A and B are shown apart, each in its own frame.
Chain A
Amino acid sequence: MGSKMEPRLASGNQAVAWAARHLGVSLGTGYPGTPSTEILENFSLLGGRAQWSPNEKVALEVGIGVAYGGARALVTMKHVGVNVAADPLFTVAYTGVRGGLVLVSADDPGMGSSQNEQDNRRYAKAASVMMLEPADAQEAYDFLFDAFFLSETWNLPVMFRMTTRVCHSRGIVTPRNPSPASKTPHFVRDMPSYVMIPGYARPAHRRMREKMTKIAEWNEQSDLNTLYEGDRRLGIVTSGVAFLHAREAAPYARILKLGMTYPLPIHLIRRFAASVDRCLVIEENDPYLVESLRAEGVECEGKLEMYRFDELNVARVRRIIARDASPEPARPKGKPPQLCKGCPHRIAFGVMKKMDCIISGDIGCYTLSVLPPFETHDSCVCMGASVGVGLGLRHALPDDEARRVVSVIGDSTFMHSGLTGVVEMVYNPPKTGHVIVILDNGTTAMTGMQEHPGTGRTLDHAKTNQVPAEDVCRAIGVKNVHVLERAGAFEKALRDGLAKAEPTVIILRKLCSLAAPKLKKYQLATEEET
């Protein structure tokens, strides 16, 4: 994608990257996660400065620092990443920012590639952060301009909620003239605004809520929300990609499409609801709008509970309109994904299956080992949970079972949130010891081969300082750290580890077979640099 100012086909993610360039975003940070990953990759390809952080919390904190310094920051993550970043999010809502700060939350209704389908509109409301919801690639482009405008007008962060179908669907995008930040970054000391001790946080909370009231008033007139005239017998309140399905399913209906879903333009919605015979809310996943409208005394109808699950589409919206509660036709089953032929994880799971290990697993390609032919993943909760959950099992189970528990985690996931688990293992060791297996394939494979601190290369594959997992584990105090470059040595190392009543880390280091040619090329290039 070039930067010529002609319309072009782009995905929602590419459109956000393009807009970020046109807005002169100073730094993009994030952690890879489907469906958000391609935003920073494209931003970097377009010449923007982008970095993968070890996890989403750090990414948001770096973005906050950029915005405190008066520059524009774009922070990207998938919906569950916002859980990791929630701690800074709730308080940056109080402190506000000097430069623009936009947090992209890429939600995954239907769980195309996620462990849950949480609805992050709830975060906007819980943290009191403005939320914009684009419906397609053009809006993803346009709304990012609005997001930075709002962030800089109110000196507050903005959440930018995309969903899988917005991120990964392509459409025609017509760009605007570039609109870079007008401020030059510099430090301004302002302790009452940025140091959240209780004495400063109490007035900050009030200040923020006062601003939210004013923003809600502003939103009443905002052109982020659009009214589509139509037959008043059916009125639809909707937002995001659900609007596209609704417009197609009921082209005759009167539609209020909300672009800013927190804070809501409640008077606009109330007038709309009063103008139609039947006011139906069409929204994916949680009844966020329905609950918000009802709390304000706006009479409206929501979807049946069965449509809360999975993503919407035109057919399902037609059923919602018809209040159709009959069972939905089942989709024919396709071929499930599996570990690639030649994947080094295959050998590891073969051994662990043979040894009847209880596997406390994690998030990555290796989670696929739960499917045939391996069926060897016993739990998978969230990024990094393998270590904590494995330790908990070791503490609770009878000794003979506890000795079979292994925590299995990938190299990128380990950097993301496995480190603190290792500290826990050393600090509170189970009496049977414990074994962590790091399946180090040299890349963040599942999301499409992104770099991470352990690879020693930056987002654009240039050389940087490397954080080797084995050094970190030894520094934390794990005495038994084994790095294996040959899969054949794995079985013995695992047997020895399980037999010891001590914390053990086994790192099986074999390049992802899919990424190996590319990774070797990056390795060579960075070796030549030195």
Chain B
Amino acid sequence: MMDANKVTNVVIAGLGGQGVIRAANILAETAFKSGYDVKQGEIHGMSQRGGSVTSDVRFGKKVYSPMVPVGEADYVLVLEPSQEDNNRFYLADHGLLLSIGRFLNDAADVSALDHDDTPVTARNCNVALLGVLSGHLSFDDGQWEAAIRVNLPEKAHDENIRVFHYGKTLA
């Protein structure tokens, strides 16, 4: 859980085009609106062309560096199973690796996770995983939902809010 005086470090990892940065934007917005200082960092550019992408989100009373120090991540969220091993080094001893593959029925292919009322797809699995993360943090659901609305087009709001809550049940 979150300690207000300590900086909470989250790394979101995946491949270019998977919505890593979008997920980081939603988390950062949620922390910001919940009254925390926030820093968010990422590298884009060449890495967008299907290569490994990470985005760091740090929040607390006061945050300096925008980069999560190696070995100090409280949570590493992985949107693509192949990206688990190369991002494990970010984790603190107490840290949790939340991987899409493990949390959603251990399936490597997210399309296999479709469910009648909560279809988790390649497009929204980033938000589903934020739902999983939300179970470990103490932000209000209202702030999460507001941040999802700010960061996604209107037609995607309902679907993403549904998969967010579905993710939360898996936490």
Contact = CB atoms under 8 A, between A and B. Distances in A.
A168 interface: yes
A334 B83 contact: yes
Interface string B2-32: 0000000000000110000000010011001
Interface residues of B, number: 37
Given A9-B29, A172-B32, A340 B49 contact: yes
B52 interface: yes
A337 B39 contact: no
B124 interface: no
B31 to A, nearest CB: 9
A244 interface: yes
A34 B50 contact: no
8 contacts: A9-B38, A9-B40, A34-B45, A172-B37, A244-B64, A244-B66, A245-B64, A368-B46
A447 B46 CA distance: 8
Residue from the set A171, A329, A365 with the largest chain B CB neighbour count within 10 Å: A171
A335 B82 contact: yes
Interface string B37-58: 1111111111111111000000
B50 to A, nearest CB: 5
Nearest to A108: B45
Interface residues of A, number: 37
Contacts of A91: none
B49 to A, nearest CB: 4
Interface of A: 9, 34-35, 112-113, 136, 164-165, 168-172, 241, 244-245, 247-248, 313-315, 329, 331-340, 365, 368, 446-448
Contacts of B48: 337, 448
B42 A338 contact: no
B72 to A, nearest CB: 8
B40 A169 contact: yes
Contacts of B70: 313, 315, 329, 331
Interface of B: 15-16, 25, 28-29, 32, 37-52, 63-67, 69-71, 82-83, 85-89
B66 A337 contact: no
Contact of A168 (B42, B49, B52): B42
Contacts of A448: 44, 48
A170 B57 CA distance: 9
A375 to B, nearest CB: 16
Given A335-B15, A337-B16, A247 B64 contact: yes
A35 to B, nearest CB: 7
A510 to B, nearest CB: 17
Contacts of B52: 334-336
B73 to A, nearest CB: 12
B25 to A, nearest CB: 8
Contact of B41 (A168, A172, A331, A334): A168
A112 B50 contact: no
A466 B110 CA distance: 44
A410 B159 CA distance: 40
Given A332-B85, A337-B51, A338-B51, A169 B66 contact: yes
A314 B67 CA distance: 8
Nearest to A7: B32
A315 B65 CA distance: 11
Nearest to B150: A9
A172 B38 contact: yes
Contacts of B47: 112-113, 337
A334 B86 contact: yes
Given A313-B67, A334-B86, 11 more contacts: A171-B37, A171-B38, A313-B69, A335-B83, A337-B46, A337-B47, A338-B49, A338-B50, A340-B49, A368-B49, A446-B45
Contacts of B43: 112-113, 164, 168
Nearest to B82: A335
B46 A165 contact: no
